[in-house]
Chains A and B, each alone.
Chain A
Amino acid sequence: MTSSAEPVEDKLVALASIAAELHSVMGVVWNVSLAGKNAKVISAQAGDKGRGFRPITESIDEISQQAIRGVDEISSEALRLSKISVHEQRSIDAYQRFNSVVKKDADAKYIKTISPAVKKVEDKMRTSMSEFKKSMNHLTLLLETMDQCMLSARAVASVSRIVTSSGQEYRDKLTVVSNDLDKAASYIKQRLSNSYRHLNNVNALRQKGI
C-alpha cells in the first residue's frame, strides 16, 4: 500500500493545480469585464458615430460576463472534484485494508462477521469512484465551454479591430480595449490548456488504477 502513496499524491497535486490555474485566471477575467464596460462607455460617448461599434462592445461585455460565470463554475467544480478525490482515496484505502484482513486471516474463527462491514466499505468505494467520474466529466465539459468562450473572445477582438479602423475618433481607445481582450483571452486559453493537462494526468493515473 505504501508503494501507491507517491502517484496518489500526484493525483491530488494535479487537482489542486487546476484550482491554482483558475485562481490566476480570475483577476484577468475581471480585467476583461472592465474592458467590456470601457468599450460600452466609449461606444456611448461616440454617440451616432459609435453606432457601428455597439454590437461589438455588447459582445465584449457579454463574453466577459460569461467568462466570469464560467471561471466561477470551473473553480467550484475543481474544488468539489478535489474533495471527492480525497474521499475516494480514503475509501479505496479502507477497502484495501479490509480486504487484506479477509485474505490474510481467512482462517480466523470469526472472519465472516466482518463481511457486512467489508460490503459497506466496498459500496462506499464504488459510490465515490462513480461520483469522481461524474465530476471529472462535468469539469471537462466546463473547460471545453470556457475554451469556446475564449475562442469567441479572440474572434470578437479581431472583428473589433477591423470595425474600429473605420471610426477615426475612437479608434485608438477601442484598439486598446480589443488588444486587452485578445491578450486576456490568449492568457486564459493557456491556463485552460494547463488545466486540461492536469486533468489528463489525473485520468492517466486513474487508468493505471491508482
Chain B
Amino acid sequence: MKATKIFDKGHQWIMFGRDPEKPENIIDTNQYMIVAGDRALLMDPGGIEVFAPMLGAILHHVKVDEITDIFASHQDPDIISSLGLWDQALPHAKLHSPWLWEGFLRHFGMNNIQYAAIPDEGSELTLGELDIRFIPAHYLHSSGNFHVYDPKAKILMSGDVGAALEACEAPLYVEDFDEHIPKMEMFHKRWMPSNRAKNDWVNRVRDLDIEYMAPQHGRIFKGENVKRFLDWFEALEVGVAIP
C-alpha cells in the first residue's frame, strides 16, 4: 500500500492506495487520513481485503490510538466493509457516517466503535485545532452520502464523485483533463442516478474554496482541473447509461 502526503502544512493529508499487492479482482480504492495534532481521521478506510495493508501503512505515520475518528461517505463494501476489523483495532473511535445507514453498517460488525450519525444537512468535526465539514452529497451515488471538506488545506474528499476506474499504476494527479474524461465518463453516467442531485451538489461545492478534489477511485484533481471537473460534471447527463 503506497502512502503519499498530499498536504503537509500544520496538519497533514495522507493518501493510501495504488497497492501493488491488491487482489486483481477487487476495485482499486483511495483511502485518506487527516492527521491534526494527536488526532487522526481515517476516511473511507476500504474493504476487508485492504484492511491489513491499510493498518500496516497507517502505523508508519500515527499510533493506533491516535486514530480517534473514522468517516464513511456511504455504505458500500469498498468504502467500509472492513468496519468489523477496525472495530477491534480502534475500539474507542467514532464512526461518522450518514444517519440513514446506521442500521445497515452495523451488519459489518460494530460492537465497540461509537456511531456518530451525520444529519442530512451535514455537520462539522473538530480535530485538534482543525475544523472540517461533512458536505451533503446525497444520491452521488448513494441516497445518504457525504464528502469531507477541509477549509485550511482547501481539500474536498469527494467520494465517488470524480472517480475513474483505472489500473493501480495510474498517476496520482490528473494531468490532462480532456484525456482523463473517457476514464470517468461511463462511471458517472451509470453510477450517479440524479441530475437534480448532481446540480445541487455542483452549486454547493462551487461556493467552497477548493485546491484539491480527492476522489475514492482514480486520480486527484488539482487547481484549475477542479473547476474543469465541476463544469464537465454539471453539463453531463447522469443516470442514463442503461444498456
Contacts and interface: CB of A to CB of B under 8 A. Distances in A.
A35 B160 CA distance: 65
Contacts of B57: 105
A101 B64 contact: no
Interface residues of B, number: 22
B63 interface: yes
A113 B52 contact: no
A97 B59 contact: no
Interface stretch (B82-90, B120-128, B226-234): B82-90
A2 interface: yes
A94 interface: yes
Interface of B is mostly: helix
Contacts of A104: 52-53, 56
Given A97-B51, A101-B59, A104-B56, A114 B89 contact: yes
Most chain B CB inside 10 Å of its own CB: which residue of A90, A104, A105: A105
Interface string B22-48: 010000000000000000000000001
B167 interface: no
A156 B93 CA distance: 64
A117 B60 contact: no
B190 to A, nearest CB: 28
A108 B63 CA distance: 10
B23 A97 contact: no
Interface residues of A, number: 19
B151 interface: no
Given A90-B109, A94-B85, A121-B88, A2 B23 contact: yes
A162 B52 CA distance: 70
Given A113-B63, A114-B64, A101 B55 contact: yes
Given A104-B53, A105-B55, 15 more contacts: A94-B84, A94-B88, A97-B48, A97-B52, A98-B55, A98-B85, A98-B88, A105-B57, A110-B62, A111-B59, A113-B63, A114-B59, A117-B88, A117-B89, A117-B90
22 contacts: A90-B109, A97-B51, A98-B88, A100-B52, A101-B52, A101-B55, A101-B56, A101-B59, A104-B52, A108-B56, A108-B59, A109-B60, A110-B59, A110-B60, A110-B61, A110-B63, A110-B64, A113-B63, A114-B55, A114-B59, A120-B88, A124-B88
Interface of B: 23, 48, 51-53, 55-57, 59-65, 84-85, 88-91, 109
